[in-house]
């Protein structure tokens, strides 16, 4: 079995951008889309903050454009999920969910991160219709309206503060009696008069058929329920990077995100690169993911140009 020059794992903005650059460089990349082709954008409504789409675009349409552009330059896009790897030998060995084994001279991991959910039936039904996991992405649509944010950490605090500048009212729903956010973030939230904090409060249900109309919450101490009028619910309880298939070979941080060498996409394994949300706990935007996809392709090209690789 001859090794492929480059295998890209993941079909989101990072993976497709890497495929575009790698194909144009003559690397003949093969991209495996993974369990969610197109990534999180395929379950996103309108995208208005990606450059080049002056009138906005739906997430699925944008991912179709990315894929078509990659295929135009010769990238091969396939269905399938990499479930196991062996990075201890070279060429690198990858195993698909079908059981098929692949050999690759270089690999770009762009498998993304998955948002953590509350587990409510209405959550996915109303995703993109008032339910969101990204205030920077969707906050504009709720300008002048009342919204709720779920979570008690830094992410929830940051989302609340961002939305407080846009929305009429922000209800921050904290499951415990105190926040987990850093002290400085808590101070900023407490000082913001546009944020109402609900401690010891959990979301019981999301009310609305076509769009979010209100949030039903239950209070942990009294067990009483309250209906909060809100047209948006931002779930900010964290993300889980999809790094499990690459452990224990790839070095990750304490949150599970792949660690890359400064100002590059190089991982701790030669010829293995990481791009997109799987290595980014901070920004998690389509445009930043695409940027790191470009970087990963350029890093892979330089790696493959080395006349001799001794590991």
Active site residue 167: no
Active site residue 134: yes
| Partner residues linked to 95 by β-bridges | 84, 101
* DSSP 8-state symbol, 3: P
Are 131 and 205 in contact by the 8 Å Cβ rule? The answer is no
How many Å apart are CA 232 and CA 234, to the nearest integer? 7
Active site residue 137: yes
Out of 138, 277, 280, 299, pick the active-site residue: 138
Backbone angles phi, psi at 32, to 5 degrees: -105, 125
Backbone angles phi, psi at 199, to 5 degrees: -85, 160
Out of 46, 65, 97, 134, pick the active-site residue: 134
Q: Is the peptide bond before 91 cis (omega within 30 degrees of 0)?
A: yes
How many Å apart are CA 256 and CA 239, to the nearest integer? 10
Neighbours of 220 (CB within 10 A): 12
User: What totals of helices (H) and strands (E) does the chain contain, helices first?
Assistant: 7, 19
Out of 46, 86, 137, 154, pick the active-site residue: 137
- Long-range contact list for 207-210, CB < 8 A, 24+ apart? 207/122, 208/122, 208/126, 208/129, 208/130, 210/129
The distance between the two most distant Cα atoms of the chain, rounded to a whole number of Å, is 69
How many Å apart are CA 81 and CA 94, to the nearest integer? 10
How many Å apart are CA 122 and CA 141, to the nearest integer? 20
Half-sphere exposure (Cβ direction) of 109: Cα atoms closer than 13 Å: 37
Considering Cα of 105, then 292, then 287, then 239, what sign does the dihedral take? Answer: positive
Q: Report, as residue numbers or ranges, the catalytic residues.
A: 134, 137-138
């Amino acid at each position: 079995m001859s090794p492929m020059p480059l295998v890209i794992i993941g079909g989101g903005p990072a993976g497709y951008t890497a495929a575009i650059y790698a194909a144009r460089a003559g690397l003949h990349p093969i991209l495996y889309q993974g369990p969610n082709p197109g990534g999180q954008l395929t379950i996103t409504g309108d995208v208005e903050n990606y450059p080049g789409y002056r009138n906005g675009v739906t997430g699925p349409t944008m991912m179709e454009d990315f894929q078509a552009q990659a295929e135009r330059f010769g990238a091969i896009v396939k269905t399938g999920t990499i479930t196991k790897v062996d990075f201890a030998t070279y060429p690198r060995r990858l195993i698909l969910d079908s059981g098929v084994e692949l050999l690759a001279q270089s690999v770009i991991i762009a498998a993304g991160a998955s948002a953590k959910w509350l587990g409510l039936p209405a959550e996915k039904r109303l995703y993109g219709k008032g339910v969101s996991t990204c205030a920077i992405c969707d906050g504009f649509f709720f300008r002048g309206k009342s919204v709720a944010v779920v979570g008690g950490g830094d992410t929830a605090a940051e989302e609340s503060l961002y939305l407080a500048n846009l929305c009429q009212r922000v209800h921050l729903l904290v499951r415990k009696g105190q926040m987990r956010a850093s002290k400085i973030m808590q101070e900023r939230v407490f000082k913001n008069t546009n944020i109402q904090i609900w401690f010891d409060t959990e979301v019981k249900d999301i009310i609305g058929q076509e769009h979010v109309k209100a949030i039903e919450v239950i209070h942990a101490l009294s067990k009483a329920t309250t209906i909060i009028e809100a047209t948006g619910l931002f779930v900010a309880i964290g993300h889980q990077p999809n790094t499990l298939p690459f452990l224990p070979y790839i070095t990750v941080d304490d949150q599970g995100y792949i660690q890359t060498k400064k100002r590059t996409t190089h991982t701790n394994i030669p010829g293995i690169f990481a791009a997109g949300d799987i290595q980014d706990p901070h920004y998690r935007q389509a445009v930043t993911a695409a940027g790191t996809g470009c970087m990963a392709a350029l890093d892979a090209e330089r790696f493959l140009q080395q006349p001799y690789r001794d590991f």
